[in-house]
Amino acid sequence: MYDRRTEPLNTANNFFSSSEIITRNKFKIQNYRILMPMVKDILVKNPVTARPEDKITRAMAKMEKNKFHQLPVVENKKIVGMLFLKDIVTENMDPNITNVKTIMRRNIPTADTNSDEIILTKQMLENGVRALPVEDVDGNLIGIISETDLIDFVETNFSINDTMTAPICINDADNIGKAKRLMKTENVSRLPVVNSNKELVGVVDTLDLIKVMKPKQRIGTAKQTAIEKIRVSEISVKTVMHDPQTVSKDAKADEIKNLLKKGEEIIIIKDKKPVGIITPKDVIELLIPKEKSIVQTINFRKSDKETKKEISSVIEKFIKKQKKFSYKINHFFLYMDEYKRGGRIKYSLRARCMTSIGLFISKSSDWNLLTCVQDVIEKLEREIMKKRGKVLNKRKARTKERFQ
């Protein structure tokens, strides 16, 4: 079950002063929240599940039919793991002969029936999941609650700039093999598809990719199977992509919330080109209350003290550097996700920095956590410098106009 105890990050200068697990009485609640009933009142009962001994093809069929990206794995009514569609798509395995237990993730967090929206959001973000199984007092699975279920409890006073991130795109001339590699290396589940003019033509996600992973009727040799896999990887993304949900930067919060309940993502376009993407996770992040410290971190509990200290130093230098340019950092949010690849741990970071000249967002992934932190900070700095250049140019233009 979820532990409500807090675990402060004891690092230099208190830049990691946030508790890794938020409790309601510690913080002022921001205006993005609508009070939510208890989990037991909104959970989806009798959820679709998989068994450890099921073949992946059987689980895939359930996912495709119900448009699920993850399935609870249950044995004797007890939750024993979670099967993720992204793992099915990106792992090199044969779904016809591979059992669910082979690639399911174990030690999955579960929701308490008395949890509130803050705890649920924190659990989903910390563990990189889209949904949480809900157990009763005896540890039996009684339901599930997803990101989409939490969207209704986000107030409609946010803007697109509060939520969108930079899109990772793929060209419509690229194949499924490249899409799978991008999803794996960038730790994403969907990719906007663009044409040669960089205009949006579709979106490909993990649900689209399983369309070409369906089992064939015939049974061939191992050599034939290998050849078939190569051919599948060479299929164009255009053959499986779906129509995108799009909005402009002027879209209102109500429209964003309603569209996310219909689909998994929204693409923000300008002149037909994708300039941002919003997912349910981006919106429910707004449920997390802001702390007194301007720096807020999520999912760094497992990092050792020395690593936390070095990360703190990198962030401190970044904030001091921005102050030299007279830019105030109002809030710095750093979220980490980690996942195993070939017995190694790869880190994925997302930074969201609110400054006096706007909101800046960056992403990075790397096998080394410190390298990943440095890269995500450098990307932020580049974006801020670009904006700074535009701001300075506008000032110069206005000054020039005054003296003409």
Q: In this predicted model, what pLDDT tens digit does every residue of 229-250 receive, in sequence order?
A: 557 788 999 999 999 999 999 9
User: Over the stretch 203-233, which tens digit does the pLDDT of each residue have?
Assistant: 999 999 988 876 554 344 444 444 455 577 8
Q: Which residues of the chain have pLDDT under 70?
A: 1-38, 214-230, 290-293, 326, 341-342, 391-404
Check: CATH 3.40.50.410 for 289-402? Answer: no
DSSP lists the bridge partners of residue 268 as 247, 276
Domain at 32-151, CATH class: alpha beta
CATH of domain 160-278: 3.10.580.10
| pLDDT per residue as tens digits for the range 87-130 | 898 888 888 999 999 999 888 888 887 788 888 888 887 777 88
pLDDT at 292: 59
Where does residue 272 fall: left (phi above 0), alpha (psi -120 to 50 degrees), or beta otherwise? left
Give the pLDDT of residue 214. Answer: 67
Q: What is the CA radius of gyration of the chain?
A: 22
> What is the pLDDT, as a whole number, of residue 83?
94
- Domain span(s) for CATH 3.30.160.100 in the chain: 289-402
d(CA 350, CA 197): 28
The predicted structure's pLDDT at residue 320: 85
pLDDT score for 22: 33
| pTM score, whole prediction | 0.69
Bridge-based pairing state of the strands 246-247 and 266-270? parallel
pLDDT of residue 359: 75
d(CA 244, CA 263): 9
Mean pLDDT of the chain: 80
For residue 287, the model assigns a pLDDT of 84
Query: How would you classify residue 390: left for phi > 0, otherwise alpha for psi between -120 and 50, otherwise beta?
Result: alpha
Which residues does residue 171 pair with via DSSP β-bridges, in sequence order? 194
| Every domain range in the chain assigned CATH 3.10.580.10 | 32-151, 160-278
Strands 170-171 and 190-194: parallel
Start-to-end Cα distance in the chain: 69
Give CA separation, 183 vs 6, 196, 316, 370, in Å: 33, 21, 31, 22
Q: How many CB atoms lie within 10 A of CB 109?
A: 17
Nearest-angstrom CA–CA distance, 144 and 46? 8
